[in-house]
Amino acid sequence: MDLKVFFSTFALIFLAELGDKTQLATFSFAADSQSRLAVFLGSAGALVATSLLAVLFGAAVSRIIPAHYLRYGAGGLFVLLGLWMLIVPAGK
């Protein structure tokens, strides 16, 4: 296993997930539930499942489209979505 890839992926995903709506939803479920373990296992399982899908689809798509094009496309999409969120009023 490439530890540099492991730790850089961990750090980036960890920072990206802090304070996002998934974490806030988990926070809300934990506040309402008596079974914190069930909330943890459910949210952790969901994150693992979505990560598995991302890895599988990323591997499949990278056979067709070179990785650097995928990075540019993802970066461009993030910029466009960020601009859209700044320009378009909420609720429209």
Output the pLDDT for position 91: 66
| Rounded-to-integer distance, Cα 78 and Cα 34, Å | 37
How far apart CA 69 and CA 7 sit, in angstroms, is: 23
Residue carrying structure tokens 């990560």: 51
Note the pLDDT tens digit of each residue in 60-71.
999 999 989 988
Tell me: the pLDDT tens digits for 49-92?
999 999 999 899 999 999 899 889 989 998 998 899 889 887 65
In contact, 26 and 39? CB cutoff 8 Å: yes
First to last CA, the chain: 46
Cα–Cα distances in Å, from 69 out to 9, 16, 57, 62? 19, 22, 15, 9
Q: Quick check: pTM over 0.95?
A: no
Report which residue type is found at 77: L
User: What's CA 52's distance to the chain center, in Å?
Assistant: 11
